[in-house]
Amino acid sequence: MTKPSLQLLLPAAKAIETELIALRRQLHQNPELSLEEAETSASAARLLTKLELEVKRNIGGHGIVADLAGGRPGPLIALRADMDALPIQEESNLPFASAIPGKMHACGHDAHTAILYGAAKLLSERKDMLAGSVRFIFQPAEEINAGAQAMIEEGVLVGVDEIYGLHNLPTLPVGKAATRHGALMGSVDRFEIIITGKGGHGAIPDQCVDPIVAASAVMLSLQTAVSREISPFEPVVVTVGSFHGGASYNVIPERAELTGTVRTFSRSVQDAMPSKLQRLISRTAEAHRCQAELRYTKMVPVLVNHDEQVRLVEEAIDLIQGAENRSEAAPVLAGEDFSNYLKHVPGCFFWLGSGPAMCADQANGLYHPQFLLNEECLPIGAALLAGIVLLRLGYANA
């Protein structure tokens, strides 16, 4: 089976660029937060239905699953985009800036939705060339790390052989893409610690049990979980992000509360952290006569790409954008719930350049209130996702 030429995909994607930009801007102006993506989902579903795909709504919340059957039987390849916005007040001054106060597409999920629609359009026009099927997954609630898991629990991966997804990256110039074998993004865990003592007058600490002193000691002891208990060759972060206790200058409170996050690239390190934290927290609190409770939630696993699927993405990038525009991505400890899919099926998640063409240093990063996305990345992203599928399922004699 000879592989099909991908040369025509980018011109075909550029021919629908106006439509992709219009969709992206419409979504940008009307951002919806995680679990609220009703209108975004309805817009995408209307367009997908016109492509004569088999569209299922309300999967794992406002998620959409749209299936495209190829001309011959074969594997089922999934492509995924996320759809939700962030609770950020937009300061971009764009003519199509968010019309909803306090909500903004500052992570470019509006673009991801438009890109996946573009890929669906390109592939539905070429379905007779496919020996297999494509599943387009429009996922809600990525920003709260809930959507992928919810969709998986509703069976979105049943029958899926491989999965691919991308994220725009404004610090990478448009026209470029970056891949990485193995771990690309970190795990995300959240913890809450409640230290209980005995409240009373600040002038008589001997008749109280001070939870603030105990919580301070706990916070410092947590730093040794990384520095003294984990190999320096394993990247891991333990950050305490909030520390609350008491309400008055002269009162010893009954309790103090800490919240924080653990990030790592290693599944074994991730698995080992709750018991390490539990030991440090409970024994340190005990040394200060306090009780400690740890609530530890594993939110997102490490995002680990699969080698064969990374190679396929790299081949698509080289054929569509040119090998000179492909680079190796640096690992980051930020999380992405695409990692949940990769626990079940092989696949690859990669970065799509969405920054200024010449000077990416001037880009405002993801989550910035002045985040700008270079819309030239829309047809490129659509061509890449379609190209991955064509490389995997296409046959030349169609």
Our CB check for Ni ion shows the closer of 143 and 315 to be 143
**105 or 127: CB nearest Ni ion:** 105
Q: How far is the CB of 24 from Ni ion (least distance, A)?
A: 14
Binders of Ni ion: how many residues, by CB under 5 A? Answer: 1
Q: Which is nearer to Ni ion, 107 or 120 (CB)?
A: 107
Binding to Ni ion (CB under 5 A) within 152-191 occurs at: none
**What is the CA 279 to chain-centroid distance, rounded?**
31
Residue number, 82 or 161, with CB nearest to Ni ion: 82
Instruction: Please identify, using beta-carbon distances, which residue of 107 and 378 lies nearer to Ni ion.
Output: 107
**Nearest approach, Cβ of residue 84 and Ni ion (Å):** 9
**Candidate ranges 103-111, 175-183, 257-265, 280-288; the one touching Ni ion (CB under 5 A):** 103-111
Q: Would you count residue 115 as binding Ni ion (CB under 5 A)?
A: no
Q: Return the residue nearest Ni ion (CB atom).
A: 107
Stretch that binds Ni ion, among 49-57, 107-115, 231-239, 380-388 (CB under 5 A): 107-115
Interface region with Ni ion, contact rule CB under 5 A, candidates 15-23, 101-109, 155-163, 305-313? 101-109
The encoded tokens of residue 140 equal: 């809600």
Which of these ranges, 29-37, 106-114, 266-274, 312-320, lies near Ni ion under the rule CB under 5 A? Answer: 106-114
Instruction: Candidates 83-91, 99-107, 145-153, 367-375: pick the segment binding Ni ion (CB under 5 A).
Output: 99-107
| Six token digits for residue 110 | 């509006």
Between 107 and 163, whose beta carbon lies closer to Ni ion?
A: 107
Q: How far is the CB of 109 from Ni ion (least distance, A)?
A: 6
Q: Which residues pair with 44 in a beta bridge?
A: none
Asked if 107 touches Ni ion (CB under 5 A), the answer is yes
- Output 66 or 107, the one with its CB closest to Ni ion: 107
Query: Minimum distance from CB of 330 to Ni ion (Å)?
Result: 17
Nearer Cβ to Ni ion, position 107 or 391?
107
Q: Is 303 in the site for Ni ion (CB under 5 A)?
A: no
The 3-class SS string of the chain reads CCCCCCCCHHHHHHHCHHHHHHHHHHHHHCCCECCCCHHHHHHHHHHHHHCCCEEEEEECCCEEEEEEECCEEEEEEEEEEECCEECCCCCCCCCCCCCCCCCECCCCHHHHHHHHHHHHHHHHCCHHHEEEEEEEEEECCCCCCCHHHHHHHCCCCCCCCEEEEEEEEEEEECCCEEECCEEEECCEEEEEEEEECECEECCCHHHCECHHHHHHHHHHHHHHHHHCCCCCCCCEEEEEEEEEECCCCCEECCEEEEEEEEEECCHHHHHHHHHHHHHHHHHHHHHCCCEEEEEEEEEECCEEECHHHHHHHHHHHHHHCCHHHEEECCCECCCCCCHHHHCCCCEEEEEEEEECCCCHHHCCCCCCCCCCCCCCHHHHHHHHHHHHHHHHHECCCC
Which span sits near Ni ion by CB under 5 A: 102-110, 116-124, 344-352, 369-377? 102-110
Write down the least CB distance from residue 28 to Ni ion, Å.
14
Question: Which residue, 84 or 315, has its beta carbon nearer to Ni ion?
Answer: 84
> Could you list the residues that contact Ni ion (CB under 5 A)?
107
